[in-house]
A and B are shown apart, each in its own frame.
Chain A
Amino acid sequence: AQSVTQLGSHVSVSEGALVLLRCNYSSSVPPYLFWYVQYPNQGLQLLLKYTSAATLVKGINGFEAEFKKSETSFHLTKPSAHMSDAAEYFCAVSVPTNAGKSSFGDGNTLTVKP
């Protein structure tokens, strides 16, 4: 079975500050890991994914995440927050044999202060 834990449901940063959203996973097999962003009343947009290649993954909009097996973590970072980054962020885990079935965390609401 797979699961993810996202700590700190609400995260607030100032514009230009570092964004750090934490995700820890549990998986009985080597996992695939994902970060999605969701804007109000919209679907999920993939930010980046880890699929067992490079452990440092770069995604869209300047986001990146590092897979750390020893810490079972996949934290999302962005060096400098922009007002347009304000949204809901979800971490998810799946198994390589089934891309369609993912287990999601409860999400982080990111607020960016001017």
Chain B
Amino acid sequence: DAGVTQSPTHLIKTRGQQVTLRCSPKSGHDTVSWYQQALGQGPQFIFQYYEEEERQRGNFPDRFSGHQFPNYSSELNVNALLLGDSALYLCASSGQMNTEAFFGQGTRLTVV
């Protein structure tokens, strides 16, 4: 079992650009959650996808959007990048019978 995989591991974008991050959940999991972890802080919940729909959303602007595909993989899109969007973006997957989520290694986004 490959666990939760995220791509890319690192990327650098210019302010104002758009970025797409990808996540493949652990085998058997149908729910994907995205988190933003700024330097020196704990992860902050962005949103969660289940059955290809956004089920819950944290306190993030509409510039942050996502998608879930029929195979349960997910994308996080961020438009009009700001310097403050620089962070580690973590994906977590879970199933309906799980008591915990499983985290990927994250994507380090740097906005310059």
Contacts and interface: CB of A to CB of B under 8 A. Distances in A.
B41 A101 contact: no
A45 B90 CA distance: 12
Given A42-B106, A100-B48, A106 B42 contact: yes
Interface string B64-106: 0000000000000000000000001010111000111101111
Contacts of A32: 99-100
Size class of B's contact patch? 20 to 34
B31 A44 contact: no
Size class of A's contact patch? 20 to 34
B94 to A, nearest CB: 4
A46 B98 CA distance: 14
Contacts, number: 62
Nearest to B32: A100
Nearest to A4: B42
Given A43-B104, A43-B105, A43-B106, A99 B98 contact: yes
Given A101-B56, A106-B42, A43 B32 contact: no
Interface string A99-113: 111111111000000
